Amino acid sequence: MLNDNKMSISPNVGGIARYLTLITSDEFYTRFEGEVWKLLGIMPKGSKAQALASRVKEGLKNLVVPTILFEELGFKYFGPIDGHDLGLLRRTLAHVAKLKGPIFVHVVTEKGKGYRFAEQDDQRYHGVGAFDKSEGIKKVKKATVPSWTKVFGDHLTELAAADPRIHAITAAMPSGTGIETFQARYPDRTWDVGIAEGHAVTFAAGLACRDLRPVCAIYSTFLQRALDQIIHDVALQKLPVVFAIDRAGVVGEDGPTHHGVFDLTFLRMVPGMVVMAPSDENELRRMLVTALRRDDGPSAIRYPRGAAQGVDMEAECLPLELGKARRLREGDGLAILAVGSEVYPALEAAAILERRGLAAEVVDMRFVKPLDHEVLADVWARHRLVLTVEENALAGGFGAAVLEWAHEQPVTEAPRVVRLGIPDRFQDQAARSDLLAAAGLDAAGIAAAAVAACDLLDAAGTQRSVS
């Protein structure tokens, strides 16, 4: 059964979408149906004839509507059916339930039908949190800090002015991923492939083969669908495709299917892949420049949903040295290695710990792959406790990468390592801040984990312990 409301979040694209439009707007069928209906009405006992015609209406459609595509695919096609006519819908389903073989029921609906606010703004009401149904979603003051998505879209558009090789690819999400800004300026260099993330990645590989610089902007949760293409079509060929991974981490009210908490895990295992996570919008801009200048393999930049940090932008956006972290705060005995969206909470946690007499060093690792081995070696030599903090699943994520590095080091003593991240369970639907707090990934949670670990070390009378 296809619930055809003519769009997902953004307007549909592609051959199937055009074909469905052809079916639902077929001029011959519409004219033929209207003429037959009028003719039946003027006949003796016309009302009974019309009632009979209503019951065979779907059979009539099958005779005159162009449905050859579905028939050739092996389906018995029924439709298009008005999905808001519940009586007709029930009768149709009762009928097709008795038939044998594959059945295709084409139901046409209007997105937001019956709720005025949703009818007027179907994109905004595609997925929402709690709101007052009598007033709709309350308008909020325009944010003074741009979203991560907007920063990405605007900077990509700026870079494209100087580099005609840059092309943008979206899988039916030009507005959600910020590509609409690029699309308005460079429509001939924008590609919306529809809800087909695997194809988006393979298409990007094709562009890269022609010495172009494709940027694939996809939500983290949806990029999971394209892992095979990432490995075989892009990474194996060492192609310079850039993956701009929006909605990385927990996403709040969109719910369990949309949390993007696995990308660090499945991307860092891919040979040749560079994996970056910016702590603020200036870092995002620099990482985008870094990725676009690579010519020996793919790069991934993952950033969260919502407003960025509101930092000042550097006038000259320089690329980063691959795999180079930055130390943001000095400390003694305790180091917090944070990546991406967890860097600023780590700094806040360090301020909390300072009030308790603990001097925590904070390092923005920037790169999950490659790791900064020099910084890690220095941290291992000077601290008795290390916290790794990430907004990603603990299994196979950034913290796991650090432990893998530590396991290979020829040392007999090492700091105690505590990993903070998304626990091994699917996350619920809740506000982003609530989910992070529940996982211990806000400033208070990070500080509490550090204090608890320090207390354990002190109780054991141990200055250093094996990880």
Nearest-angstrom CA–CA distance, 252 and 466: 37
Catalytic residue among 6, 185, 225, 327: 225
Question: Is residue 111 among the annotated active site residues?
Answer: yes
Q: List helix spans (H) across 43-123.
A: 46-55, 57-64, 68-72, 86-96, 116-120
Strand 274-276 vs strand 367-369: parallel, antiparallel, or unpaired?
antiparallel
Rg (CA), the chain: 28
Question: Is residue 408 among the annotated active site residues?
Answer: no
Catalytic residue among 58, 180, 189, 197: 197
Nearest-angstrom CA–CA distance, 26 and 41: 23
Q: List helix spans (H) across 66-196.
A: 68-72, 86-96, 116-120, 148-162, 179-185
Strands of the sheet with 416-422, listed across from one edge: 326-329, 360-364, 333-338, 383-393, 416-422
Catalytic residue among 6, 76, 91, 111: 111
Closest among 80, 244, 242, 224 to 173, alpha carbons compared: 244
Q: Cβ contacts of residue 189 below 8 Å, gap of 6+? A: 160, 164, 166, 167, 168, 182
Question: Is residue 238 among the annotated active site residues?
Answer: no
Question: What are the helix and strand counts (H, E) for the chain?
Answer: 19, 15
CB 75 within 8 Å of CB 102: yes
Diameter over CA atoms, the chain:
102
CB 388 within 8 Å of CB 402: yes
Q: Cβ contacts of residue 336 below 8 Å, gap of 6+? A: 346, 349, 350, 360, 361, 362, 363, 386, 387, 389, 446, 450
* Positions marked active-site: 111, 197, 225
